Amino acid sequence: MKKPRVAVLFGGMSSEHAVSLVSATSVIANIPRDRFDVVMIGITRDGEWRLFEGDVEKLAGSGWESDPSNRPAFIAPDSRVHGIVALSPDGRIETIRLDVVFPVLHGLNGEDGTVQGLLTLARIPFVGCGVTASAVCMDKAITKALCDTYQIPQAKWETVRVSDLKDNGKAVVERLEAHLGYPLFVKPANAGSSVGISKAADRETLYKAIETAATHDRKLVFEEAVNGREIECAVLGNEEPVVSCCGEIKPCNEFYDYNAKYLAGRTELVIPASLPKDVSERVRQTAMRVFRLLGCRGLTRMDFFALEDGTVLLNEPNTIPGFTSISMYPKLFEAGGISYGELLETLLRLAMEG
């Protein structure tokens, strides 16, 4: 039988472009080549699409962008193409049929339903959540509002539009102080990898935090600072998903900020997390519930805070979680006996299940 052809999308117009390059390097290197043909499509920070045929090692550090193998290419929305339209080296237009796409894109313009919409129009199966779940999970305010209606326990929170802060700043800040108290977290509603997030200890740092977050989004989320352990678990599947054991993040910085995630390299992942059985079960059951309620599919990493008294609060779902071979999502399944390569194959098969 012919091997299915998978396109891995990497890069993207997102503040998490660099993170995608690292995740995609691992994904591309580990898709079993005896069972899948792989083509690579890079999207630059400016949004140019290119078919890349160079060495996968060139992804990290952005060397791929100037690779002589690059050709203009894009996924056609036309469902009859069912794949890529590319400029061939001799200047002709060619099409490359695809069986499945793995969007290894984090954050805006990739994890948020945009690329999922294109792939839906193109009728090409793809790994991960569809348009609605992707869009919902990208927006922290919408996720939180929905989870409140489903009575999923969360930290106290509020959402405010930047324009409201401009018109009515002092009153809004006083309301936030009264409702949430210090310290509190300020986040852009739509971002990831801790980009634009700060912890404010008083009014002065709150104003700075607002300024930082407002450079990323017109809508902000404010949350009480939770004093808890950061526990994550991984959900995999479509109609009958499975949930991994719990893992714990022990950040090397004050919180799990961008540096702690990607640069410092000293953050510790503890798998399985050492938790009382009832707490880890609550995390896993809540993860499964949220996956279903939000209409997730394929994969999602669910992040929580576990408090001293056994309370479990949802922090956020991540529909395209970090996917390097040392990232939490694949590590959690590895602990359950599913290797990184097997996990990739399972995800591709789940996508093609229809």
Please give the annotated binding residues for Mg(2+), written as ranges: 303, 316, 318
Q: Give the residue with the Cβ less far from ligand ADP, 99 or 223.
A: 223
Q: How far is the CB of 340 from ligand ADP (least distance, A)?
A: 22
Tell me if residue 16 is catalytic.
yes
**What own/partner pairs with CB < 8 Å and gap ≥ 24 does 208-211 have?**
210/162, 210/165, 210/186
Q: Give the residue with the Cβ less far from ligand ADP, 42 or 321.
A: 321
Q: What angle do CA 349, 351, 354 make, to 5 degrees?
A: 105
Q: How far is the CB of 10 from ligand ADP (least distance, A)?
A: 20
Q: Give the residue with the Cβ less far from ligand ADP, 122 or 141.
A: 141
Q: Give the residue with the Cβ less far from ligand ADP, 87 or 269.
A: 269
Tell me if residue 20 is catalytic.
no
Q: How far is the CB of 122 from ligand ADP (least distance, A)?
A: 28
Q: Is the peptide bond before 321 cis (omega within 30 degrees of 0)?
A: no
What CA–CA distance (Å, rounded) separates 293 from 287?
A: 10
Q: How far is the CB of 210 from ligand ADP (least distance, A)?
A: 15
Beta-carbon-side half-sphere exposure of residue 48 (alpha carbons within 13 Å): 11
Residues in the chain: 354
Rg of the chain over all Cα atoms, to the nearest angstrom: 21
**Annotated binding-site positions for ATP:** 140, 185-187, 193-194, 223-230, 315-316
> E-assigned strands of 239-319?
242-250, 268-270, 298-306, 312-318
Q: Give the residue with the Cβ less far from ligand ADP, 118 or 213.
A: 213
What CA–CA distance (Å, rounded) separates 17 from 189?
A: 18
What tokens were used for 298?
């394929």
* Other C-beta atoms lying within 10 Å of the C-beta of residue 218: 11
Task: Say if CB 84 and CB 110 are below 8 A apart.
Answer: no
Residue ranges in contact with ligand ADP by CB under 6 A = 155, 185, 187, 191-194, 197, 223, 225-226, 230, 251, 255-256, 303, 315-316
Point out the catalytic residue in the list 14, 20, 23, 193.
Answer: 193
Point out the catalytic residue in the list 14, 26, 280, 327.
Answer: 327
Q: How far is the CB of 37 from ligand ADP (least distance, A)?
A: 33
Tell me if residue 274 is catalytic.
no
Cβ-closest residue to ligand ADP?
Answer: 256
Supply the residues annotated as catalytic: 16, 193, 327
